[in-house]
Amino acid sequence: MEKVLLFARAEYDARVAAVKAEMVKRGIDLLVVSEPPNQNYLTGYDAYSFYTPQLVILAIKHPEPVFITRKMDRVSAYMTTYLADDNIRAYPDEYVNSTTLSVYEYMANVIKELGGESATIGVELGGYYYSARAHADLVRSLPQATFEDVDLLINWIRIVKSPAEVALMRQAGQIADAMIKRAVDTAAPGMRECDLAAAIYHQQISGTPEFGGSYDASVLHFGAGALALAPHPTWSDKPLAASTTIYMEVHGNRRRYQVHLARTIVLGKPAPAYQKLADVAVEAMNEALDIVRPGCTCSDVHSVFTQALARHGLKKDGRLGYPTGIGYPPAAAERTASLRKGDETVLQPGMCFHMMPGLWLDNVSVAITHSFVVTEHGHEPLTSTPRTLFIK
């Protein structure tokens, strides 16, 4: 079987070295990595197998990570990672959904083999894929070990993308652009919402003529009519009205790197007040984008946006944006920095954000968003879709 690596081995080695350096700072001997994006970041592993337990074990004294997965998924670990065969471990299928066996006992034995029996072990307690039962089983199986919560340790390292990662983010942005274009070109009165959603999904997987796309880490957010007032709706099978508003957030995904993009489409003629609201949202977003540069803080960006809205008597509840990158369900947001008041995270080149100045007010909403990467002197758009209200 041939190995197919997404990045050069040197890139993975640098990632492992950066994570180990942070582990040393925190006094962590061994790191248990349960989050699929972090597993991908360290090893390259990519398969839809994370619905059953799988872990990457990173030990300070062991040169490579060790990947533990279900037996039938061992082949995916061999093909998509750089790991030596001995560093890929597979547990028997009898552990899957067993009411009497815990796969974390198997995993604990691997940890012991790597010198972790009485080590200080870091775990991702806030992750989506490390349950309370998983932690209890692991603690019970390693009674001499000390456990520390190091949730987001890897997330804060991968918030800064390498040039090779940014290249994939650009491609993901082009897919997002194609999805919005498909939506605008296809939307028409009388068309069922589900048929429009299907066209958007077709474009997501088809990608561009140069490269294909993949499944996203979330779901297409799609709200027509009254449902456009909700930030995270999904489609129905109702026909689109002759005069209505359609909100959607699409997710272009290229080799698991994901870029978000939201737009609002109006079928018919929008009221002047609604057009004004859209113009104000875009104006505020553009002013916030103008100050994005290394050394600026997330709070600084949010403050400029807030002041621009306030000139028009408006305010936005919730954060203005969040970083994205490697994406697996249920979300691509990295759970680290936020573009909001009080977040003093300093922007650095290579950070990628989805700026989401969507306004969901009591009886009206508009969402026109922008994804970007911080550069040495400012920011680079990751999408090229016009920042405007689309009218058909």
Phi-psi region of 152 (alpha: psi -120 to 50; beta: other; left: phi over 0): left
Report pLDDT for 387.
Answer: 97
How confident is the model at residue 263, as a pLDDT? 98
Distances (CA, A) of 182 to 14, 108, 195, 359: 39, 49, 12, 24
Residue 3 has pLDDT above 90, yes or no: no
Predicted confidence band at 209 (pLDDT cuts at 50, 70, 90)?
very high
Domain layout of the chain by residue ranges = 9-158, 163-391
Whole-angstrom CA distances from 59 to 29, 167, 347 are 6, 30, 30
Query: What mean pLDDT comes out for the span 306-317?
Result: 96
Q: Is 235 helix (H, G, I), strand (E, B) or coil?
A: coil
Q: 353, 368, 380: which is closest to 280 by C-alpha? A: 368
Neighbours of 362 (CB within 10 A): 6
Q: Is the dihedral of CA 146, 147, 152, 154 positive or negative?
A: positive
Mean pLDDT of 64-86: 97
Domains 9-158 and 163-391 share a fold: no
Which pLDDT score is estimated for 307?
98
CATH number belonging to the domain at 9-158, selected among 3.40.1390.40, 3.40.350.10, 2.30.30.180, 3.40.50.12280? 3.40.350.10
Domain 163-391, CATH number (from 3.40.640.10, 3.40.50.970, 3.90.230.10, 3.90.228.20) = 3.90.230.10
In DSSP terms, 261 is beta-bridged to 250
Q: Cα separation of 39 and 118, whole Å?
A: 24
- Per-residue confidence (pLDDT) for residue 2, from 0 to 100: 82
With residue 14 as reference, give the H or E element that holds it.
helix 9-26
Token pair of 83, please? 């790991």
Residue 248 CA, chain-centre distance (Å), reads: 17
pLDDT greater than 90 at residue 303: yes
* Mean pLDDT rounded to a whole number for the chain: 97
Q: Could you read off the pLDDT of 223-267 as tens digits, one per residue? A: 999 999 999 999 999 999 999 999 999 999 999 999 999 999 999
Span 362-370, average pLDDT: 95
Q: pLDDT grade, residue 317 (50/70/90)?
A: confident
For residue 215, pLDDT beyond 90: yes
